[in-house]
Chains A and B, each alone.
Chain A
Amino acid sequence: MLGLTIREVSQAMREGRVSPTELCRRCLEQVKSTSYLNAYITVTEEQALQQAQESQVRFLKGKPKGPLDGIPFSVKDNFCTESMETTCASRMLKGYRPPYTATVVQKLLDQGAVLIGKTNLDEFAMGSGSTDGVFGPVQNPWSYSVQYRERAGADAGWTIAGGSSGGSAVAVAAQTSFFALGSDTGGSTRNPGALCGVVALKPTYGLLSRHGLIPLVNSMDVPGILTRSASDAATVLGVLQGLDKKDSTTIPPPATPTHLPEEIDVRKIRIGIPREYHAPGLSAETLSQWTRVADLFEREGASVEPVSLPHTQHSIVCYHVLCTAEVASNMARFDGLEYGHRSALEDSTEALYAATRHEAFNDVVRRRILAGNFFLLKRNYELYFMKAQKVRRLIAQDFARVFHGGVDVLLTPTTLTDAAPYRQFIQEDNRTRSTQEDVFTQPANMAGLPAVTVPTALSSRGLPIGLQLIGPALHDTRLLALAAWLQKRLCFPRLELAGTWAEPGDVGVAPGLQGALQGHT
């Protein structure tokens, strides 16, 4: 039951084969039995059951609200939820209960969807592993799978979930939620989506409201949608998209319906393979999957052609400047006065600020603030920020030129490799990791384009590999239709959990945090 798609389980509820409360209970049980994955920061059991109960009444009356009524979902813990803790996995916001709910979350609640909990992430969504939050790292359920056990060997150790929306990806992969919200600034939804073997959509910038999403980079952030099927993602997108008076950067959605056609004809489709995405560090297995899918398209009659995005190579360094600059600006509000952590050191206002920020931000956040402020200094602004903005425009123009030339969609890898074991991942620092991991995902954020990752196959170690489709702005639904077409043909295997690893030492959670984790999950 928990492995069904939204459409399937909604049908089951309509037919009375399962009730919303039963479904909710089973999800909550699954959350408990997979709590070692550390996917959730807060589980909202009571509210969830209450919502499920209300949904049940509607189903009994034969009047469910829509395709999401009674469907359990989870939300990355950087979306504000009224009177419910919203932490951004930071000491800064531990215990912070916002007085309002993010637009996208509210839309789901209004549709009768049942909120199971708030999911784990890198602190303030800065990271690509979901390893750098104050509540400890998220673990990839596939590293607990039968497949991984068999292929990777007994001492391989658990792997990261990817990030920064690792908790949301795990929630969907481990079948504790039917869908989840993430956020995507440089790949934060697609990266963990690929590593956890789920569908992850980064919608067109402005299509979904950011009101209530605690920002990382305002000009690139979008709420992301994680599901087990592309068709589910389209259903959720249909509910979430649209103008929001509270977010001036939202745009009107296209008039076309969001539900996907049963079948599409790929023979009229032109697929571009960006040359520059043959990046150093790309694993042979990912490359071979990329080739396999390109061949599949070609076999089915699509036109597959190489294209060039010459400025892509500058995307990461450019992103680094723009991202840190906005981070420095956005984080300036955390001074301990109005909300969040406040240091006990109150010698002066300045001393209070310094101590508060030092105590409550981790190294990653503090380093980005420092770098960002450096780039924004009057003497550096033109040299770095202005230049990065210009490069950003060139990157966007690369995409525009390719799409204008008749290419409908780009097919690329989502990540360089499958998920790294935690022990290996933490050998490099966060910045290096982000630089490496975001290479394929990040240009779409620069250009504001929709992109979706589709689970493609398992690697030789038994871990998921995903491929990415990037489309022109506002072609989100067409992109999902193509993703659905792919999914149907790829037959990505089902996750079979084999239980926890024998050695708890591998968990990698700081001892002091164990209590906090239990308290939150």
Chain B
Amino acid sequence: MAASLVGVLAVVRNVSVKRTVRSKCLISSSHVCTRRLGASACRNAKAQVKRSLSQELVGVVGLEIHAQIHASTKLFSGSQVRFSSPPNSLVSFFDASLPGTLPVLNRRCVEAAVMTGLALNCTINKKSLFDRKHYFYADLPAGYQITQQRLPVAVDGRLSYGVLVDGSQNHVLERSVRIKQIQLEQDSGKSLRDGHRSQTLIDLNRAGIGLMELVMEPDMCCGEEAAAAVRELQLILQALGTCQGNMSEGQLRVDANVSVHRPGEPLGVRTEVKNINSARFLARAIDYELQRQMAVVESGGTVVNETRAFDFKSGQTIPMRDKEGLQDYRFMPEPNLPPLLLYDQQTAPMDADPTQVILIDQIQEQLPELPRVTRERLVKTYGILPEHSFTLVNEDDLVDYFVSVVQRTKAEPRKVIGWVLKDLLGQLKQRCLSTAQSPISPLALAELLDLLEAGRISSPAAKLVFQELWKGTGRSAEQIVEQQDLGVMRDHGEIERICQSVIDSHPEEVRAIRGGNRNVLNKLMGRVMKQTKGRADPLLVRTLLEEKTS
């Protein structure tokens, strides 16, 4: 508990450093002084700064996340769900809102929502209802969206996630955010503006795809926390298979409710930052908005309740033009769908058609291992650091890769993790490759680590072999070592000869060492290692050099 409190401060500090500088600037400017503090208060400007620091403005962030349900068909129709299909090729009569068509609830979508709710520690409502939310928009063919406004399928959950504080420090802080509810609803179509012909083109492929809207309470304080929470959610959804979670394909869309206030005071007026469709920009968009609001408040202004969009080019949030003004959605119960009833094995009606019954406890039993448990298992089983478990789980397929290497090598898991995270993942990231695209198979890496473990190659040589393996020539580590003569030098005489030649060619350095500057010895060691391509035993080399320079 104490650790998390410290954590909050640590994170807040990270965000507010820049802002504190800014607030000092503001207060020292005469304009702000006269307006906010008055002439007499100006003399106490220094005290004011202190006060404002002790009553630091803090950010409050809540999220609304739309997760597209991974299902083969839409929420209420039999149309296929597929990304980037030809426009309007996946549209049923219902999706196009043809009069007389009726919604038929997709069982898979309900199961996905229940499973997601259970994974997020929600209470699953045994009875939930569907409502119509009305607004006119070209990509909403029926003029209303079917959603769950009154009684959603899942409520009162909690998502635990970890925040990696300062990547370099490698420290993980445990956090959690309350999930207010998960509701099932329809996705809308897409409008494309053809400015050239001044017309709007409508693609209904997306219209009616099942969405889970997850509402997260304002328990986060900055972009970094929000991004970490979203990342954890993404991992959970992917582990469950209920949403593919690809933000760039719009499978996961985030709206952030952002406000600032002083602790102990009521929450400030919030703005909604819409359409953050990239994990990369999530934290930036929120932090920008927080800092903007802090600047507004500190300069004596008021934050306006509005919807803003994040412009990734400028890195700013900008007000969205809202032509309709305040929307009244005129909610109404959806009369064509009876209440959604869910059961337990105990409570299921005896005479019911099993295809029409969804059992909550059965889904609970089928829950796969969640990322959090995977991380704990990795730490416990392999003795790796918690932050390393985060990195492993964060990357698709990397856990399997790591485990696969560990199972095939004699090297300690704690050594393996270094190679997997630093060398392999480093290279993959640099080249924007996924784990599955790695040119080095787990087996190849395992063989390499075995050579290292057996002392047949030195650590520097192992790096060279790794580089060779990366080229994907199909040769094994063993073959590379053989062909490029990278094995550890066993010939004592040869090493001694090389040491001697280095000493002979560096009289200045030798003099310095003999004069007492022992550090220079490292330089000579470097020369020897270079000449031996890192194949000589460093301990042996040091001993020999020390003997020869004493």
| B143 proximity list for chain A (CB < 8 A) | 329, 331-333, 335
A326 with B332: CB separation less than 8 A: yes
Q: Chain B residues near A326: list those with CB within 8 A.
A: 332, 335
State the CA gap A376–B98 with chains docked (Å).
23
- State whether A333 touches B141 (Cβ < 8 A): yes
B142 at the binding interface (Cβ < 8 Å): yes
Contacts of A245 in B (CB 8 A): 104
Residue among B99, B105, B136, B323 with the highest chain A CB neighbour number at 10 A: B99
Q: How far is the CB of A326 from chain B (nearest CB, A)?
A: 6
Residues of the A chain whose Cβ atoms lie less than 8 Å from the Cβ of B390: none
Residues of B within 8 A of A93 (CB): 99
Taken together as a complex, chains A and B put the C-alpha atoms of A210 and B99 apart, in Å, by 11
Q: Is A338 part of the contact surface with B, judged by Cβ < 8 Å?
A: yes
| A337-B202 CB under 8 A given contacts A248-B105, A329-B134, A332-B144 | yes
User: Can you give 6 A-B contacts (C-beta < 8 A)?
Assistant: A100-B93, A102-B100, A211-B101, A349-B200, A377-B330, A381-B331
Q: Is A350 an interface residue (CB 8 A)?
A: yes
Whether A214 pairs with B331 at a CB distance below 8 angstroms is no
Least CB distance from B139 to A in Å reads 9
Contacting pair A247 B102 (CB below 8 A) = yes
Whole-angstrom CA separation of A385 from B332 in the bound complex: 9
In the complex the two chains form, what is the Cα distance from A504 to B330 in whole Å?
Answer: 47
Is B441's CB within 8 Å of the partner chain A? no
| B 331-356 contacts with A by CB, 8 A | 331-332, 335-338
| Cβ B99 vs Cβ A214 within 8 A | yes
Q: A249-B336, A332-B136, A377-B330 are in contact. List 16 more A-B contacts (CB 8 A).
A: A88-B99, A100-B101, A210-B100, A212-B101, A247-B102, A329-B144, A333-B141, A335-B141, A335-B143, A337-B138, A338-B96, A350-B323, A376-B331, A376-B332, A377-B328, A381-B331
Q: Give 6 closest A-B pairs by Cβ, nearest first.
A: A332-B143, A376-B330, A218-B335, A219-B335, A214-B99, A333-B97
Contact residues on B (Cβ < 8 Å of other chain), bracket: 20 to 34
Q: Which residue of B lies closest to A212 (CB)?
A: B100
Whether, in the assembled complex, B132 has its beta carbon less than 8 Å from a beta carbon of chain A, the answer is: yes
If A211-B101, A249-B338, A329-B144 touch, whether A99 touches B93 (CB-CB below 8 Å) is yes
Residues of B within 8 A of A378 (CB): 328-331
**Contact across chains for A98 and B100 when beta carbons are under 8 A apart:** yes
Interface positions of B from 143 to 165, Cβ below 8 Å from A: 143-144
B250 interfacial by beta-carbon distance below 8 Å? no
Q: How far is the CA of A420 from the CA of B30 in the complex (A)?
A: 85
Residues of B within 8 A of A (CB): 93, 96-105, 132, 134, 136, 138, 141-144, 200, 202, 323, 328-332, 335-338
B330, A210: Cβ atoms closer than 8 Å: no
A260–B323 Cα distance when bound, in Å, is 61
Measured in the bound complex, the distance between the Cα atoms of B238 and A411 in whole Å is 61
A249–B98 Cα distance when bound, in Å, is 18
Q: Which residues of B contact A373 (CB under 8 A)?
A: 330
The reply to whether A376 and B134 contact each other, CB–CB distance below 8 Å, is: yes
Q: Interface 1/0s, chain A 354-383, versus B by CB < 8 A?
A: 000000000000000000010011100100
A80 within 8 A of partner (CB): yes
The interface residues of chain B lying within 8 Å CB-to-CB of A399 are none
A79 to B101 alpha-carbon distance, docked (Å): 11
Rounded to whole Å, the gap between the CB of B410 and the closest CB of chain A is 60
Asked if A248 meets B102 with Cβ closer than 8 Å, knowing A100-B93, A333-B97, A333-B143, the reply is yes
User: A169 near B: Cβ within 8 Å?
Assistant: no
Closest A residue, CB atoms, query B103: A248
What is the CA–CA distance of A213 and B202 in the complex, to the nearest angstrom? 26
Contact A215 B330, beta carbon cutoff 8 Å: no
Indicate with 1 or 0, residue by residue over A328-352, a CB within 8 angstroms of chain B CB atoms: 1101111101110000000001100
List chain A residues, Cβ under 8 A from B136.
332, 335, 350, 353
Instruction: Assess whether A332 is in contact with B337, with CB atoms less than 8 Å apart.
Output: no
In whole angstroms, how far apart are the Cα atoms of A218 and B337 in the complex? Answer: 10
A213 vs B102: C-alpha distance when bound (angstroms): 10
B residues in contact with A218, CB < 8 Å: 335-336
Closest to A88 in B: B99
- When C-beta atoms are compared, the residue in chain B nearest to A245 turns out to be B104
A31 at the interface (CB under 8 A from B): no
What string of 1s and 0s marks CB contacts (under 8 Å) between A180-199 and chain B? 00000000000000000000
Closest chain B residue, CB of each to CB of A124: B99
Contact of B102 (CB < 8 Å), options: A98, A211, A217, A334: A211
For residue A325, CB closer than 8 A to chain B, the reply is yes
A218 to B144, CA, bound (A): 15
